[in-house]
Chain A
């Protein structure tokens, strides 16, 4: 990517967004670590972890916006890629526990000892090395998305059909991961982590570093998405979104474009999941629940579909609201609010917060431009011809 491409692809909103994320990624960890605990400006550790979670959600939202906002693929199963990335990271963290588990087995994680495993299942090998786990974080969701997309897009499964079978996919994975003999801890999932790369996951420094890393991942994901959608490839994606048959007739291999962007998006979701797990300390099959994936879609809708910045913003806003409402007296009303959010946003705010703001901004700019040109024209003493009504 040349610098020229970067500047071309960044408008003012994107620059502000990147600046804010970068500032948060630097200032929040510094404030948490350097300022004395309890002081006015110090960010408490629990908030660092909470905001770290939001940032991971923002990456997931970006990945959904990339396919839904720019290619018209509504995936109701993106939570599955998120959870798979999370499981890959969780497996690494489980292997790092070593002899510190309840049963003290150097190789087998606690749940395997409990379930009478005699040796490590083959798919757990290699997860004691970080580089391998990190590779799997990208590879497993990517492979699933590639196979799934290859089958689905090639046979032209589109629209609500695609949405429904992505939902079926995550539902099938949910059922599978709930099984004890599937080898991923069943109902309880993977938890009780100790170290990541030799650092204690509970320590303040590690949490701050993970937060900074999440922000960095968000920035990188954003830049990747921006460069994809503003390239020629992105134009074809938008064409597919708006008129799939026409793009095909024009000679584009629609399924290849879709497959590429779907796989890329799944890898991003996997990274989000992998950063999420060490910060919340657990990964279990409920992450595969179809409801989670649909909720992630509504973050994008709230923030503004097809704007990227909006997706990340929507994820943070909706999750902040969720934390705020579910922790207080209003907890029983949260589902009412979430439901109403789904309905009202689709009915009244189809472009989302950022989309609506952009439309308003453009309108205002046009008006201003018209006013300037009108006043310039008046100064020149030329009267504009009246438009026929």
Chain B
């Protein structure tokens, strides 16, 4: 294309002049086009956008983006156009020379909706060949969305040069979107475009296919089959997404409930202050991060690693203290224990409210926990993924501890038959204290994890306590596997009900289902059998 070539050469020469001599440039097609912005005429502006965008001039991007933001000032008397920066400094749009001030007679170049679309498309094509990979990808996606015919040439050009695979795919999809909407594209091109969109297979591709307007019969038919195939795959992906959300919620429930399951299983004690142990863990994280922020800012990424053992010790210590000072006097009176621990939860909440204030405290995500990645059509955030892994790790460690350590053996013995265990020489009161400490400590580390996805406030524990009870009651007592199954079942059921019934009704439905389930299996899914449970 000789015209394009000459424009390129011209702008090349121009930039040489600009850089080497910083001389005022002579009038070329670029300068003529820029001057057209000053005409205050929509069709002139559109022409100017086209010429500037395809000029390859380094000023093209600043000019068009200034036009988009209303920062492109034009003086209709002198036909001079200026780009004002966000910092208040201005340059002459035709030459790139800084100017002291924009004359008062200049006003922002006006746009209408049609022009805004060409501006978007022009910006998209301008950045299609940026050296930065992310910018190129974004540009290709924005062209895909706008699918302006004017960008076709730029897309073709970029496609020829592109080496990166994902950008190439994005460019191909952008090209398909343009061709689909181009009235004079050949039928073969359009069929190919439909196939490309079908391969993309997401909501946006479907929107394009459903909104493509009048097309040849073969294309309409291909599009219809593509739409149904995309719908099928979208349904699969939405199931996958619900399952993922469910797993994520389940892991949070499991983390919150697992400590409760231990204390309830071993001691038959309903600890209403369990949620407050979670809260204490979250506040421990907050304190650790505060200290790191003020003293050792470099350690911020390790803050959670430091907080986990600390939260375990703090919450576990408080747990042992509670057991020794209150709960041990109430054994055999589970309902009274329930009331006393409820009172304790009020005291702990109010204590934290007095110390840290009633408002939410800021707990940051370390760099390795922030961000997300795409898996097919769903987005997975790193913090949710880490919490799931962390929960499973805690579960496995706990299971191993119960199975292979002396304390675990003693705990299991006391769960199964307290009096028999005592006659075999197990110090049951020591086991009780350690169990309560362990359960509270696990609640503490649950708090560390929850501080990453929830507000750290004195009410943090309250929001989890009823759900945790449901998990324990549903899963059954004295069996950690029951808690695992209970947590993930409730999590997944909740997330699958949510899109159907809405968040609140879904939750109500779950509560009602559990109440009904309890009628069928009063001791949960995995109940201990035998006489011990009747005691």
A interface residues (Cβ-Cβ under 8 A, vs B): 68, 74, 76, 148, 151-152, 154-161, 163-165, 167-169, 171-172, 175-176, 178-179, 245, 290, 294, 297-298, 301, 332, 335-336, 338-343, 345-347, 350
Are A161 and B339 within 8 A (Cβ)?
A: no
Are A175 and B515 within 8 A (Cβ)?
A: no
Q: Which chain A residues lie closer than 8 Å to B505 at the CB level? A: 179
Counting residue pairs across A and B whose Cβ atoms lie within 8 Å, the total is 124
Are B338 and A156 within 8 A (Cβ)?
A: no
Question: Is B516 part of the contact surface with A, judged by Cβ < 8 Å?
Answer: yes
Contact of B344 among A156, A245, A332, A342 (CB under 8 A): A342
Within 8 A of A (CB), among B484-535: 504-505, 507-508, 511-512, 514-516, 518-520, 522-523, 534
Are A163 and B335 within 8 A (Cβ)?
A: yes
Name which of B138-146, B326-334, B370-378, B391-399 contacts chain A.
B326-334
Question: Is B390 part of the contact surface with A, judged by Cβ < 8 Å?
Answer: no
Within 8 A of A (CB), among B326-355: 326, 329-330, 333-340, 342-351, 354
Contact of B350 among A156, A245, A339, A346 (CB under 8 A): A339
Tell me the minimal C-beta distance from A138 to chain B in angstroms.
Answer: 23
Tell me the minimal C-beta distance from B87 to chain A in angstroms.
Answer: 47
23 interchain pairs, CB-CB under 8 A: A76-B338, A155-B519, A157-B522, A158-B522, A159-B334, A160-B334, A161-B522, A164-B469, A165-B473, A168-B511, A175-B508, A176-B508, A297-B339, A298-B339, A335-B346, A336-B347, A338-B346, A339-B347, A342-B346, A343-B347, A346-B333, A346-B337, A346-B343
What DSSP secondary structure best describes chain B's contact surface?
helix
CA distance A346 to B351 in the complex (A): 21
Query: Do A157 and B330 contact each other (CB < 8 Å), given the known contacts A164-B473, A290-B466?
Result: no
Are A171 and B511 within 8 A (Cβ)?
A: yes
Contact of B342 among A155, A159, A294 (CB under 8 A): A294
Are A171 and B335 within 8 A (Cβ)?
A: no
Question: Is B470 part of the contact surface with A, judged by Cβ < 8 Å?
Answer: yes
CA distance A163 to B515 in the complex (A): 11
Are A161 and B466 within 8 A (Cβ)?
A: no
Query: Do A245 and B343 contact each other (CB < 8 Å), given the known contacts A157-B522, A176-B508, A178-B504?
Result: no
Q: Which chain B residues lie closer than 8 Å to A342 at the CB level? A: 339-340, 342-344, 346
Query: Do A167 and B326 contact each other (CB < 8 Å), given the known contacts A160-B270, A161-B473?
Result: no
Within 8 A of A (CB), among B298-347: 326, 329-330, 333-340, 342-347
Are A155 and B522 within 8 A (Cβ)?
A: yes
Are A346 and B473 within 8 A (Cβ)?
A: no
CA distance A347 to B344 in the complex (A): 12
B interface residues (Cβ-Cβ under 8 A, vs A): 268, 270, 326, 329-330, 333-340, 342-351, 354, 466, 469-470, 473, 504-505, 507-508, 511-512, 514-516, 518-520, 522-523, 534
Tell me the minimal C-beta distance from A143 to chain B in angstroms.
Answer: 16
Are B514 and A168 within 8 A (Cβ)?
A: yes
Are A172 and B512 within 8 A (Cβ)?
A: yes
CA distance A339 to B349 in the complex (A): 10
CA distance A158 to B473 in the complex (A): 12
CA distance A154 to B522 in the complex (A): 10
CA distance A4 to B473 in the complex (A): 47
Tell me the minimal C-beta distance from B339 to chain A in angstroms.
Answer: 5
Tell me the minimal C-beta distance from B517 to chain A in angstroms.
Answer: 10
Are A346 and B469 within 8 A (Cβ)?
A: no
> Which B residue sits closest to A334, measured CB to CB?
B350
Are A151 and B515 within 8 A (Cβ)?
A: yes
CA distance A362 to B383 in the complex (A): 63
Tell me the minimal C-beta distance from A351 to chain B in angstroms.
Answer: 12
Q: Which chain B residues lie closer than 8 Å to A160 at the CB level? A: 268, 270, 334-335, 338
Q: Which chain B residues lie closer than 8 Å to A290 at the CB level? A: 466
Query: Do A339 and B343 contact each other (CB < 8 Å), given the known contacts A168-B511, A178-B504?
Result: yes
Q: Which chain B residues lie closer than 8 Å to A301 at the CB level? A: 336, 339
CA distance A148 to B519 in the complex (A): 10
10 shortest interchain CB distances as A-B pairs: A342-B343, A339-B346, A339-B347, A335-B350, A172-B511, A339-B343, A155-B519, A346-B340, A346-B336, A343-B343
CA distance A340 to B345 in the complex (A): 10
> Which B residue sits closest to A172, measured CB to CB?
B511
Tell me the minimal C-beta distance from A180 to chain B in angstroms.
Answer: 10
Are A163 and B270 within 8 A (Cβ)?
A: yes
Are A340 and B340 within 8 A (Cβ)?
A: no
Are A343 and B344 within 8 A (Cβ)?
A: yes
CA distance A160 to B332 in the complex (A): 12
Are A341 and B343 within 8 A (Cβ)?
A: yes
Q: Which chain B residues lie closer than 8 Å to A159 at the CB level? A: 334-335
Which of B343, B347, B354, B516 neighbours the largest number of chain A CB atoms within 10 Å of its CB?
B343
Are B511 and A335 within 8 A (Cβ)?
A: no
Are A157 and B345 within 8 A (Cβ)?
A: no
